Amino acid sequence: MKTKDFDVHHHPCFNAEAKGQFGRVHLPVAPKCNIKCNYCNRKYDCTNESRPGVTSKVLSPHQALAYMEKVLELEPRISVAGIAGPGDPLANPGATLETLRLIRERFPGLILCLATNGLALPAYVDDLASLSVSHVTVTINAIDPKIGSQIYAWVRDGKVVYRGERGAGLLLERQLEGVTALKEKGIMVKVNTIVVPGINEEHVIQVAEKMASLGVDLFNCIPMYPTRETPFEDIAEPDPVLISRLRDQAARYLPQMRHCTRCRADAVGLLGEDRAKELASCLRACATLPLKGDEDRPYVAVATREGLLVNLHLGEAASFQIWRRTESGGFEPVEERPAPRPGGGLKRWLTLSEILKDCRAVLVAGLGENPRQVLEEAGIKAYEMTGFIEEGLKAVYEGGAPGLFKARRQGCSGGCRGGGGLGCL
């Protein structure tokens, strides 16, 4: 079938025959998640770990568009732009839909794809269809809430957190509704089932049977990758012989994906020829672009006592120094702007966003999650660091200097395997 400007068969995950010819890029624009799987660790900022959920940077939609342009220059065989985390794309619906919209507009010939746990899927199927998203992967690990409750620590719907069978039951309900709605729209659906020894390994076949009854196109039995600092870290990875047997049994119901490489959330390239390491500096550079691409934001605001070091927390700065890049490539302070007075909660940070609206970033020694969110929603990236202002400015304007800024989630889990590991998911 040929739909619009792209050919749905050119997806290397859904069609094994396409995998040597066509590649995919994951755009890491979705950091938050609305459930907690007991095998998943979404710590990022690591270039070496090769497992699902890891990315070296999170991008805004406009940064992701700029990154996509660069990636296609380097690797024109990429036919798919997908969003697979590092959290759940539909737990970050604003960033996800905006990214898909920007990519669809600029690259009508690309296949758009999404991987989700399905909790928020029913609410967004119409949006996905209207953006011509043609391929969706839903991770469904159990069709029995008793089994699901051993895999999911919690499920958050709006502001309410559900645990145990109630949480797993709600998730399952939404997954079934979401998959049905996707198929009604003619979207290709792959179901990922993570095989967790001792928990769901024999149940996997029942999941496949149920998915077949909903018209799912492809089934992907994925061996759980034991990940440090998760409740399942001590469960051994399932044996390849077991996985092969489960795939053969599940094949009675659905076609099987047997070539999944368990990609990172910033995977890029052909499957099995991942170029995420090679493109890490490009990804980092794109993460330093203004958060909102269409605005002119020449300045960076700095919380400093004396004008040499970044040494004040956001909340304790009575004023911010405003710096810019000079034509010769150096940096100079242009003015000092008073900060809003303490107190006033959210209003204080909204006022600060207005004061700094021509700044692409603010350098501070520390800040809380609420002001960070308010500033970032206004397009001002907040970087936590201590040290020389000029070093921070260089990193903001030019990228590089990994490690200078304090990671939002601290480094990798210590289980780095120097990038060898398992390829991508």
Ligand X SMILES: C[S@@+](CC[C@H](N)C(=O)[O-])C[C@H]1O[C@@H](n2cnc3c(N)ncnc32)[C@H](O)[C@@H]1O
Residues 394-423 that bind ligand SF4 (CB under 6 A): none
Nearer to ligand SF4, 258 or 347 (CB): 258
Residue length, the chain? 425
42 forms part of the interface with ligand SF4 (CB under 6 A): yes
- β-pairing, 268-270 with 273-274? antiparallel
Selected from 36, 57, 203, 275, the binder of ligand SF4 by CB under 6 A is: 36
Q: What's the sign of the alpha-carbon dihedral 103, 105, 106, 107?
A: positive
13 binds, among ligand X, ligand SF4, none (CB under 5 to 8 A by kind): ligand SF4
What is the per-residue binding string for ligand SF4 in 236-275, x denoting contact by CB under 6 A?
------------------------xxxx---x---x----
Nearer to ligand X, 88 or 384 (CB): 88
Identity of residue 132: S
Q: Least distance from C-beta 54 to ligand SF4, angstroms?
A: 11
Q: Is residue 290 classed exposed, middle or buried when 0-12, 13-18 and 19+ CB atoms within 10 A define those classes?
A: buried
Residue 224 CA: distances (Å) to CA of 40, 92, 113, 210, 314? 9, 25, 22, 21, 41
Q: Least distance from C-beta 425 to ligand X, angstroms?
A: 5
225 binds, among ligand X, ligand SF4, none (CB under 5 to 8 A by kind): ligand X
261 binds, among ligand X, ligand SF4, none (CB under 5 to 8 A by kind): ligand SF4
Own/partner long-range contacts of 247-251 (Cβ < 8 Å, ≥24 apart): 247/221, 249/205, 249/208, 250/204, 250/205, 250/208, 250/219, 250/221
Query: Which one, of 284, 312, 292, 303, lies nearest residue 395 by Cα?
Result: 284
* Residues 30, 265: Cα–Cα separation, whole Å: 9
85 forms part of the interface with ligand SF4 (CB under 6 A): yes
Q: Least distance from C-beta 194 to ligand X, angstroms?
A: 5
24 binds, among ligand X, ligand SF4, none (CB under 5 to 8 A by kind): ligand SF4
Residues that bind ligand X (CB under 6 A): 33, 37, 39-40, 51-53, 84-85, 88, 115-117, 139, 192, 194, 222, 224-225, 227, 265, 425
Judge if the upstream peptide bond of residue 402 is cis by omega within 30 degrees of 0: no
Nearer to ligand SF4, 18 or 424 (CB): 424
175 forms part of the interface with ligand SF4 (CB under 6 A): no
Q: Least distance from C-beta 68 to ligand X, angstroms?
A: 19
Q: Least distance from C-beta 283 to ligand SF4, angstroms?
A: 17
Kindly report the number of other CB atoms within 10 A of residue 217's CB atom: 18
Instruction: Provide the greatest CA pair distance for the chain.
Output: 71
271 binds, among ligand SF4, ligand X, none (CB under 5 to 8 A by kind): ligand SF4
301 close to 319: Cβ distance less than 8 angstroms: no
Nearer to ligand SF4, 80 or 289 (CB): 80
73 close to 282: Cβ distance less than 8 angstroms: no
> In the complex, which residues of this chain contact ligand SF4 (CB under 6 A)?
13, 24, 33, 35-37, 40, 42, 53, 85, 87-88, 117, 260-263, 267, 271, 424-425
